[in-house]
Amino acid sequence: MPYFDVNTKLGTAMNISLGRPVKVNNFLTTLNITLIANTNLEKMEARAGEVIKKISTASSNKAAIDAYEKEMEKVSRYSNA
């Protein structure tokens, strides 16, 4: 199980809502927080993106399997009736 630290959470926020490193640094400036180098932000974003991709793929696969099983239950009920 991957662990999440502040950097990974910031990378996730970049992927989901904040956008590119410039926007993140603008946001941090507004909060009066020290800026983070763009290369470091991009590394954080890449690491978080890998985790998001793995989780979303697993979730999509599970949803597809569940939908298939539900459909097969319906088909078997109607064919046995």
- What string of H, E and C letters represents the secondary structure of the chain? CCCCCHHHHHHHHHHHHHCCHHHHHHHHHHCCCCCCCHHHHHHHHHHHHHHHHHHHHHHHHHHHHHHHHHHHHHHHHHHHC
Instruction: For residue range 27-42, list pLDDT tens digits in order.
Output: 778 888 888 788 877 7
As a whole number, mean pLDDT of residues 40-55 equals 79
pTM of the model: 0.50
Instruction: For residue range 4-22, list pLDDT tens digits in order.
Output: 555 666 677 676 666 677 7
